[in-house]
C-alpha cells in the first residue's frame, strides 16, 4: 500500500492505494492549523500499512532533495503554515520514506505517467485557480533549479484598454494578478463561474493566458500543455486560447504540432480535478529513505 | 584528439583539442554556401586524427537525438542553408561520431562544465547579438522538448513612451525584435557599439532584457545566468540589468541569491567570445555512434 496527500490551501485530500494505483480509501481534511490538520492526516493513514507517502503541496516549498529543510513550507502568506515541516509528522509516525513536491509538479507527474503526457518526454501542467502555477516534467523529472518554478508570476502585456490594477501583492499585473480566480472576482465583483460565457472579461483572460502559454512554449518547448484548476472548467475558453496562441506564435515553429488547431496540444487534465492526488501517488512510488 | 565547430551565420570556427581540452589548432571559415563552407571544414580536420566531433550551430536546427533529420538545419532565413545536414560531411569523411546542438546550448554546456556553472546543477546561457537565443542546462543536459528552445522571441512589455515598431519578422516587438543588434541599429541608425553609454536606448534595452530575465527566472529558476554575445561586451549594462531584475521580482523569491546585488548571478561568460567553441568541444566528448 502507498499513501498520497494533495495538500492545498483549503483542504488536504488523503488517499491510500494498492500497488496498481487503485485508490482504496480517501478522505478530505480542512486546512486549518498545521497542529490540527497534520495529525488528522496521520490518523487517517494509521489505519493502513502504507510503505511510502507522496505529498503534492501548495508552496512556496523546499523541494531540493539534499536541502536541510526539504519538505518545509517556506514564506507562505497562509497564516500558521510558514516553516512547517510536512515530512516529519509522517516519518515519525510510520518510519516510511516520504517524497514532497509542489502540487503542480505532482499533477504534471500524474499526467506524464498516466494521462496526456504518456509516451511523451515533456509535459507542462498549469493550474489556474486561486493561484496560478505550473510544473514542467522532462523525462519523468519535475524541472527544478534553485527552487521550484513560479511560472504564475511572469510578466505579460496588459491590453491598453484594460485599466484593472491587478491582484498580485508582489507584481500587481503579472499573470496571476490578472487571471487568477480572486483577480477575476476583484475585477468583476462575482466569481468567474457566475459570469456568462460572453462576458468581456473572458476576452482579456484568454489573451493573457495565451501570452503566458506562448512564452512557456518558447522557453520550455513542451510536447503537451495541460490546464487544470478552476478556469479549466470553463471549457469554452480552450478553443479561444488555442487560437490566440497560434496568433502570437505567428507560424514561428515549423513543427507538426502547429499545423493543427492545437486541440491535442492544449488540453484539459485527463484525470480532471484528481490530477494532483494521482500525481502524489506517483511521488509516493518514488519516495526513498 | 577531438574536434569542434562553432557554426555561426557569418563564420564557422573550427578547433582541434587534445583530451585535456587544450586547443592545438583552430581556423575560421566564412559562412558562404554549404557546398563551399563544409568541405573547407572537412579539409581543416583532415590534417588530424580526430575521434569525435561536436558542432554548436545556428538554428533552427533538429537537435532531437532519435529524429531522422538529427543535425539538419531547419527553416532558416539564411539563404542556401535550409535543410542542410551538418553531420554527413564529417561522418562520411572521418567515420566518427558527431554530436550537434544549438550554439547557445553548446555555450551553456561549456559554462556548466568549465565556467560560471561549475558545481551548479542549472545554468542559463543567453546570447544577445545578431539574434537573441538561450540554452538551459540542467544536470549536464540541455533542455529540449519538441525542439530546442526559442527564448529570444518571448513577448515582453514595450514601454508606453517607446514607439519603435520592432525588428522581428514574426513578432515585431518580441525580445529579439527590440534588443538584438540589428534592432538597435534600425532604431538608432548606428550600431550599439558606436552609441555613447548614456544614450537613452540603453534604458529601454536594459528594461526589456530585465523583463526577459525575470520571466526566465520564474520559469527556469536557474542557479546562474550568463549573458554572452555583442551586448554583453557593453559591460556598463550589467549593473543596470541586475537592479531592474530585482525591481521586477520585487522580493518574491526568498532565496539567498536575491539577498545580493546579483553580481555573481547575472554574469559575463567566463570564456568570453570562446564560450561556444569550448562548449562544442564538450559536445564532441559526448558524441556517440
B 182-201 residues with CB < 8 A to A: none
Contacts of A44 (CB under 8 A, 6+ apart): A14, A27, A29
Q: What is the pLDDT of residues A134-159, one digit of tens each?
A: 999 999 999 999 999 999 999 999 99
Q: What is the band of A76 on the pLDDT scale with cuts at 50, 70, 90?
A: confident
Joined together, the cell numbers standing for residue A28 give: 478530505
Across the interface, whether the CB atoms of A146 and B257 are under 8 A apart is answered yes
Q: Do domains A2-103+273-286 and A116-268 have the same CATH topology?
A: yes
- Kindly state which CATH superfamily the domain B116-268 is placed in: ATPase, nucleotide binding domain (3.30.420.40)
Predicted confidence (pLDDT) per residue in B8-44, tens digit = 989 999 999 998 999 999 999 999 999 999 999 999 9
Is B79 part of the contact surface with chain A (CB cutoff 8 Å)? no
pLDDT digits (tens, 9 = 90+) for B100-129: 999 999 999 999 999 999 999 999 999 999
Mean pLDDT along residues A162-190:
96
Of the candidates A94, A74, A106, the one whose C-alpha atom is nearest the C-alpha of residue A4 is A106
Among A215, A223, A244, A258, pick the best mutation site for testing chain B contact (most B Cβ within 10 A): A215
Contacts of residue A249 in chain B, CB cutoff 8 Å? 170
Sign of CA dihedral B251, B255, B259, B262: negative
Q: What class has domain B2-103+273-286?
A: alpha beta
Which candidate in B145, B176, B258 is best for mutational testing of the A interface (most A CBs within 10 A)? B145
> Which pTM value belongs to this model?
0.97
**What ranges do the domains of chain A cover?**
2-103+273-286, 116-268
A247 touches chain B (CB under 8 A): no
- pLDDT > 90 in chain B, percent: 91
Cα gap B96→B288, rounded to integer Å: 8
Distance CA B155, CA B133 (A): 14
N residues, chain B: 289
The 10 Å CB-count burial string (b at 16+, else e) for A102-120 is bbbbbbbbbbbbbbbbeee
Contact (Cβ atoms closer than 8 angstroms) between residue A74 and residue A44:
no
CB A5 within 8 A of CB A89: no
Q: Of A126, A199, A207, which Cα lies nearest the Cα of A185?
A: A199
Amino acid at each position: 500500500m502507498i499513501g498520497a496527500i494533495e495538500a492545498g490551501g483549503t483542504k488536504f485530500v488523503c488517499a491510500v492505494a494498492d500497488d496498481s494505483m487503485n485508490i482504496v480509501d480517501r478522505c478530505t481534511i480542512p486546512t486549518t492549523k498545521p497542529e490540527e490538520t497534520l495529525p488528522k492526516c496521520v490518523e487517517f493513514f494509521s489505519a493502513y500499512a502504507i510503505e511510502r507517502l507522496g505529498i503534492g503541496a501548495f508552496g512556496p516549498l523546499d523541494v531540493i532533495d539534499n536541502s536541510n529543510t526539504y519538505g518545509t513550507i517556506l514564506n507562505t502568506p497562509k497564516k500558521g503554515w510558514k516553516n512547517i515541516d510536512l515530512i516529519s509528522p509522517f516519518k515519525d509516525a510510520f518510519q516510511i520514506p516520504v517524497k514532497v513536491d509542489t502540487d503542480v509538479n505532482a499533477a504534471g507527474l500524474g499526467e506524464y505517467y498516466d494521462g496526456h503526457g504518456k509516451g511523451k518526454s515533456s509535459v507542462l501542467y498549469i493550474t489556474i485557480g486561486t493561484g496560478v502555477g505550473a510544473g514542467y516534467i522532462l523525462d519523468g523529472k519535475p524541472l527544478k533549479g534553485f527552487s521550484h518554478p513560479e511560472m504564475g508570476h511572469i510578466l505579460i502585456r496588459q491590453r491598453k484598454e484594460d485599466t484593472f490594477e491587478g491582484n498580485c501583492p508582489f507584481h500587481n499585473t503579472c499573470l496571476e494578478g490578472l487571471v487568477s480566480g480572486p483577480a477575476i472576482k476583484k475585477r468583476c465583483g462575482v466569481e468567474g463561474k457566475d459570469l456568462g460565457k460572453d462576458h468581456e472579461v473572458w476576452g482579456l483572460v484568454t489573451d493573457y493566458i495565451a501570452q503566458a502559454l506562448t512564452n512557456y512554449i518558447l522557453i520550455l518547448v513542451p510536447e503537451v500543455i495541460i490546464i487544470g484548476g478552476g478556469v479549466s472548467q470553463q471549457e469554452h475558453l480552450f478553443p479561444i486560447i488555442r487560437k490566440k496562441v497560434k496568433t502570437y506564435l505567428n507560424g514561428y515553429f515549423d513543427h507538426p504540432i502547429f499545423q493543427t488547431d492545437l486541440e491535442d496540444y492544449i488540453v484539459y487534465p485527463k484525470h480532471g480535478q484528481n490530477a494532483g492526488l494521482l500525481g502524489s501517488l506517483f511521488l509516493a512510488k518514488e519516495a526513498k529513505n
